[in-house]
Amino acid sequence: HQLSAQNQDGHASSVGPGWTKASCPCCTSKKVEPLVLVKLGENVRPETKRWLIRLIGAPQKDGGAALLAHPGEDASGDIIMVSAPCCTLLKATEELGLCRIYQDDNMEAFSYKNRHNFKNSDDMEIFLTLAERQYIVKYELDGLWAQRDLRIPGLPDSYTLQHRDNICEKLGSAGVIEDMFPLHNQDKLRDLSEAWYSGNQLSQPLDSINEYFGSSVALYFSFLDCYTWSLLPPAMLGLLITYFSGRCSISSSGVKLRGDYLGPAGYSHVIQAVFSMLWSTVVMELWKRRSSSSSYRWGTSQLAEHFAEPRPGYHGVLGVNPVTSRVEPLFPEWRRTYASCFLPFMLFSTVLVVLGMLCFYWGEAKMQKLHKDWDSLLSQTFLYMPSVVHIVFTNVLATIYKKVALSLTEYENHREESAFENHLTAKVLVFTFFNYFAVLFHIAFFKQDIPMLCKRLGSLLIVSQLVNQVTEVVIPLLVDKFISVTHRTDSEDEPQEDKFRKQGTMPVFPGLFAEYIELLVQFGYLSFFSCVYPLTAVLLLINNLTEIRADAYKICKLFRKPFSQPVTNLGVWQTAFEVLSFVSVMSNCWLLLLSPQLQKLFLEGGISSTKTILLAVLVEHVLILVKLVLAVLIPDEPDWIKKKREHTEYTSMQALRQVIVMSKMDTKITKSITSVDVVQKTNPLVKDIPKISRKME
């Protein structure tokens, strides 16, 4: 049965023979596509590699991963290529809770038993996306745990596996597995990049991105797209305001605004502020609708991660899970809640940020004074001291914070990978955001210096975006072209294994955190300070149009392909954007209060400053109320999705009523009944069972 891949269509099948045998006969296929490459350490002995290959190929009931493995060139090489047979993929699809197209063209949660009623369930390349297949391989490998105490051949006794030890973690710490990454498919990648960024396309091929990079990456680009287009209205408003107030003088070095930053139109900035506050809520609600229909289309709307196996790092006392009745480590909820109280640490860090900033200002003032007193070359170099110290301090703090946040999140011991990610992201995000905005907030709320805020914002928008683009794209591009290029050109006669091995030399994809935080900071500039600087949206729009292409190029060409867990929505990022949109009301009202023009207006109207503040507070509360009402009135999902969801709920309620007895009574009867069902599906000739049962009735 050891069928070798035929060299028919391109790279995928050009791997020679040597794949392990699939454990079930239905899964043998002529063509095996290598999905994931496991890079072994240098000093791994052949018996360890053989053991690992056997483990990957063994059926799941024997503690294996039921995957297909290929030793590369020979048994002593340092790579293992892994692929997955049909049945393993299908079973994992059910376990992950992915939805697929049913025969009646609806999306239904996939069920292995009923696989024949799902469309294309016999052709994995159509049924599952490439990203999903690769994720499933990783999922199965990560889920390997020792069913009993076990010595690994070729390793010292100190690495003996204990019962329930995670095998991949252990092998990682023993230096056997050095790395694991999904393989690029050059043909598909070429098609994707053509449709994505090489032409002048306005829309992005989101479904193809989902197919190749998975739903998390596709959702990011979908959000980026949605957000960019939604910048059009505020950009147009900003242009109109700038044009009619006509006070914006553009110098060659950038955009500079005069001290009295407000146009003669007077209320233009009020209009801008109110518009941007309501706009942000509407955009977020529309995005939620779009996100829910995307996740429906991609089959990730009913993910069942909390019913699947816990994530590798999860530890606890072995016991029966009350929800799924499986034996697995249990960790009480209250201990997690207790551990989640990282607030003091976060507060402490933000205080440090503020202190650092204040020290910087103090130091700068001191140095200015020193320089004025001394006026020497030494004092001139001293002038840069505070900035340097502050930058070093901020970076050190950020590094420490990230480390502590990571270990805190690990200490919280989340059961699901997504919960872990969300908690970690939330922690880092708050700090990073605060770090970005500390200076602006300081200017806006303490110094209350609107012209300075305006100047700072303008320079930040232009300079930091430019710097960002350069560091994100140009430098990796140059590095890629001139340094790595020599040992990464694909020659035609090179063996496929070496081509795969070369992908391992590319840098690891750093994840979407940096991309999202960039968007969040943009969104912050726009919603917090838009009334100060009406051109913000225009600049962001221009930036994002290039950003889409740059990000696409980056992920396609400059990095190793990342694994991508199926996700339903943006998770914690969605919350972050929504929170920002509400906090921005306060910031905007405050800035309007400070605006010299409005103050003058109130002064002329004979309204006391106390009354002005009360008015601002009133306006703030009313705006928050309106935003809340808007958020409630716009449904989070389109009507057709709601109906489909309710239909699923209804069907599963009905199903529960039918099946609850079966699953609880005698497992034998349950099995027999479902096998009746399977028999009837697969063999339409069997028609006598209904008659028998009716007679007995």
| 617-646 positions binding a copy of itself, by CB under 8 A | 617, 621, 633, 639, 643, 646
Residue 395 tokens read as 């970076």
Judged by CB under 8 A, the chain residues 55 through 94 that form the site for a copy of itself are 94
Per rule CB under 8 A, count of chain residues that contact a copy of itself: 71
Q: What is the DSSP letter of 595?
A: -
Does the protein bind a copy of itself through residue 613 (CB under 8 A)? Answer: yes
**DSSP at 684:** T
Of the CA atoms within 13 Å of residue 646, those in its CB half-sphere come to 7
Q: Does 25 help bind a copy of itself (rule: CB under 8 A)?
A: no
* Interface pick for a copy of itself out of 307, 393, 434, 513 (rule CB under 8 A): 307
Tell me which residue of 635, 422, 413 sits closest to 512, measured CA to CA.
422
* Residue 521 touches a copy of itself, criterion: CB under 8 A: no
Q: Which is nearer to a copy of itself, 229 or 590 (CB)?
A: 590
Q: Output the six-digit token pair for 591.
A: 């800035």
Q: Residue 228: helix, strand or coil by DSSP? A: helix
567-586: contacts with a copy of itself (CB under 8 A)? 586
Integer Cα distance of 554 and 28 in angstroms:
37
CB within 8 Å of 65: residues ≥ 6 apart: 55, 56, 57, 58, 88, 140, 141, 143, 144
* Distance of closest approach, residue 312 Cβ to a copy of itself, in angstroms: 22
447 or 647: CB nearest a copy of itself: 647
Please report how close the Cβ of residue 113 comes to a copy of itself at its closest, in angstroms.
7
Residue 323, interface with a copy of itself (CB under 8 A)? Answer: yes
If the CB atoms of residues 11 and 423 are measured against a copy of itself, the closer one turns out to be 423
* Residue of 337, 395, 399, 407 that binds a copy of itself (CB under 8 A): 337
Mark residues 221-260: x for contact with a copy of itself by CB under 8 A, - for none.
Answer: ----------------------------------------
Residue 38's beta-bridge partner residues?
A: 80, 180
Q: Is 318 in the site for a copy of itself (CB under 8 A)?
A: no
CB of 136 to a copy of itself, least distance (A): 18
Q: Does the footprint of a copy of itself cover residue 694 (CB under 8 A)? A: yes
Task: Name every residue whose Cβ is closer than 8 Å to that of residue 273 and which is 6 or more positions away in sequence.
Answer: 530, 531, 588, 589, 591, 592
CA distances from 218 to 137, 237, 252, 378 (A): 20, 30, 38, 53
CB of 257 to a copy of itself, least distance (A): 27
Please choose, from the candidates 436, 425, 447, the residue with its C-alpha nearest in 3D space to the C-alpha of residue 511: 425
Residue whose structure tokens are 């019962």: 163
Residues facing residue 638 across a β-bridge: none
Is residue 448 close enough to count as binding a copy of itself by CB under 8 A? no
Residues 646-675 that bind a copy of itself (CB under 8 A): 646-648, 650-665, 668-669, 671-675
Q: Is residue 680 a contact residue for a copy of itself (CB under 8 A)? A: yes
3-class secondary structure for 151-179? CCCCCCHHHCECCCCEHHHHHHHCCCEEE
Query: Is 317 a residue that touches a copy of itself (CB under 8 A)?
Result: no
Asked if 327 is part of the footprint of a copy of itself (rule: CB under 8 A), the reply reads no
Rounded Cα gap, residues 470 and 467, in angstroms: 5
Please identify, using beta-carbon distances, which residue of 134 and 409 lies nearer to a copy of itself: 409
Mapped onto helix, strand or coil, the DSSP state of residue 107 is: strand
Binding mask 90-119 for a copy of itself (x = CB under 8 A): ----x--x----xxx---xx-x-xx--x--
For position 514 contacting a copy of itself by CB under 8 A, the verdict is no
> Burial level of 549, CB count in 10 A (0-12/13-18/19+)?
middle
Find the part of the chain contacting a copy of itself (CB under 8 A) among 126-134, 448-456, 544-552, 612-620. Answer: 612-620
Q: How far, CA to CA in Å, does 93 sit from each of 35, 117, 140?
A: 16, 15, 11
The answer to the question of residue 306 lying near a copy of itself (CB under 8 A) is yes
